[in-house]
Amino acid sequence: MGKLANKVAVITGGNSGIGLATAEDFVAEGAYVFITGRRQKELDEAVKKIGKNVTAVQGDVSNLADLDRLYAQVAKEKGRVDIVFANAGIGFPATLDQVTEQQFDQTFNINLRGLMFTVQKALPLMSNGGAILLCGSNASQAGVPGFTVYSATKAAVRSFARTWTAELAPRKIRVNVISPGPIETPIWNSTNLPKEVVAQIKGELVSKIPAGVIGEAVDVAKAASFLASEDSKFIQGVELFVDGGMSSI
Ligand code: NDP
């Protein structure tokens, strides 16, 4: 029996990168997972890769009607939620001088508004208690030039977790943040930066990571499985950095 045997989990952004790796690990640990994301083709491919115990529901976390549809499907198939991993997120590289209103609104809409309503709308299905994991980033720890809006949204995620820990503890719901450092996922391609620039940024980042490498999505997935399981039943309101030690120096 895996450490998530018979648990029902919802993972936003489950069709790519960290969300997909986590969905695979949750299923390997015995859970049934519902994954969501905007791109149907990637959802179909993710379902194939995960192989079993998975339902994909296409949708945008910043669209509340899509979230209602997601949870209606979960309610219909399983009747409850035990674990929510609010993982969906985007990040545009832009300095204060460069950032546009559209980038600001979209980043806050997805990384914060979407994350909050993902959690709020799960609560009616969490009457047995459970675990909520919020995806932060170690970028919120120190100033990261060029990621002004992204870093601010991720810092606010930590604030949500502190408040919700207090609000939801009486309902036996634990809330924790997982904050990855640089992880090799498709998010790097979505920056629209030239490949050489991305390679240069990664090279500079590696020199700041005590572990000496960029992380893998599975590194975050293993941390998520731990925080979602009863193995972490006395851990609430923490921010777990999965960053090869980067935030400690
Ligand atoms: P990916 O680009 O691989 O995954 C992002 C996921 O979010 C995709 O599944 C995407 O699906 C989904 N998503 C984005 N916007 C929406 C939306 N509006 N509605 C629903 N789903 C959405 O990147 P990662 O796996 O790296 O990112 C996952 C999380 O990890 C993010 O929150 C990111 O900020 C965080 N993180 C990543 C780091 C890294 O170095 N990789 C470092 C620190 C934090 P779709 O496009 O189909 O909607």
3 part of a folded domain: no
17: domain CATH number? 3.40.50.720
State the residue for tokens 């929510």. Answer: 84
User: Is 216's pLDDT higher than 90?
Assistant: yes
| Res 200 pLDDT > 90 | no
What pLDDT does residue 148 have?
A: 92
Q: Is 191's pLDDT higher than 80?
A: no
- Give the pLDDT of residue 235: 98
Confirm or reject: Cβ of 15 under 6 Å from ligand 1. yes
Q: Give the tens place of pLDDT for each residue, 128-171.
A: 999 999 999 999 888 788 889 999 999 999 999 999 999 999 99
DSSP sequence for 200-213: HHHHHHHTT-TT-S
Nearest C-alpha to atom 3 of ligand 1 is from which residue? 17
Give the pLDDT band of residue 202 (cuts 50, 70, 90): confident
Locate the ligand 1 atom nearest the alpha carbon of residue 186 and give its number.
Answer: 3
Per the domain annotation, does 87 fall within a domain? yes
Q: Reduce the secondary structure of 37-85 to three states and give it as a string.
A: ECCHHHHHHHHHHHCCCEEEEECCCCCHHHHHHHHHHHHHHCCCCCEEE
What percentage of the chain reaches a pLDDT higher than 70? 100
Answer whether residue 247 is part of any domain. Answer: no
Report the separation in Å between the CA atom of 22 and the middle of ligand 1, taken as the mean of its atom positions: 12
- Residue 42 is predicted with a pLDDT of 98
Pocket test for ligand 1, best of 16, 106, 111, 112 (most atoms within 8 A of CB): 16
Report the residue among 40, 90, 154, 201 best suited for mutation to probe ligand 1: largest number of ligand atoms under 8 A from its CB. Answer: 90
Does the beta carbon of 80 sit less than 6 angstroms from any atom of ligand 1? no
**1 assigned to some structural domain:** no
Is 244 close to ligand 1, i.e. is its CB under 6 Å away?
no
Confidence at residue 106, expressed as pLDDT on a 0 to 100 scale: 97
Specify if 17 maps to a domain: yes
| pLDDT (tens digit per residue) in 13-25 | 999 999 999 999 9
Instruction: Note whether residue 173 is domain-resident.
Output: yes
Q: What is the pLDDT of residues 17-52, one digit of tens each?
A: 999 999 999 999 999 999 999 999 999 999 999 999
- For ligand 1, the distance from its centroid to the CA atom of residue 170, given in whole angstroms, is 31
Q: Is the CB of 168 under 6 A from ligand 1?
A: no
Task: Count structural domains, the chain.
Answer: 1
CA–centroid distance, 88 to ligand 1, in Å, is 4
Decide if 114 contacts 162 (C-beta within 8 A). Answer: no
> Residue 2 domain-assigned?
no
150 is catalytic: yes
Alpha-carbon span 62 to 71, nearest angstrom: 14
Q: Which domain holds residue 48?
A: 8-240
134 located within any domain: yes
CA distance 101 to 107: 10
Q: How far is CA 192 from CA 57, 82, 136, 241, in A?
A: 27, 36, 22, 26
Q: Give me the interface pTM, i.e. the ipTM.
A: 0.99
